Amino acid sequence: MNIKFVVVGKLKEKYFKAGIAEYAKRMSRFCKFKIEEVKDEPTPEGASQAQMDKIMDIEGTRILDHIKNNEYVYALAIWGKELTSEKFAKEIKDLMTYGHSKITFVIGGSLGLAPKVLKRADEQISFGRFTMPHQLMRLVLSEQVYRAFMINEGSPYHK
């Protein structure tokens, strides 16, 4: 099984890097895990909607360049479906059972994801209606993917 995050922007904060590295280490017994960062476009202050759409489109092209046809793609989107940890774990298990060995999660930049990225996604999921920094979302997603593996294993970690 291969788990990949395609994310916009670089992670600068050491505490986020350390947390993600810990979950990556824990996940290594279940899957190959990697994060691919794509360059974020600077957004000028007071950008028009047309400028923001153009920025999202550029970032979207960069994201799609990192996604192969045989990958099952989850796009993180504020209006996506919300799952419990148990339902998320079941989805991951079902994907593995039915031949999806490459699962990719996409986290957009500060403006969100371009429509073409959302269209490519097999699923759009949300971690709630709160807006979170994408750096924090990487850590939260890392933990939830690890939790899904632990739930599927029947581990007491989830309790």
Binding positions for S-adenosyl-L-methionine: 76, 108
Residues of each annotated binding site: 76, 108
Whole-angstrom distance, CA of residue 112 vs CA of residue 142: 19
CA neighbor of 34 nearest in space, from 116, 112, 145, 114: 145
The CA distances from residue 140 to 35, 38, 49, 134, 136, in Å, are 14, 19, 29, 10, 6
Residue 153 burial (CB count, 10 A): 13
* Length, in residues, of the chain: 159
CA 4 to chain centre: 8
Q: Is the Cβ–Cβ distance between 73 and 104 less than 8 Å? A: yes
Whole-angstrom distance, CA of residue 71 vs CA of residue 101: 8
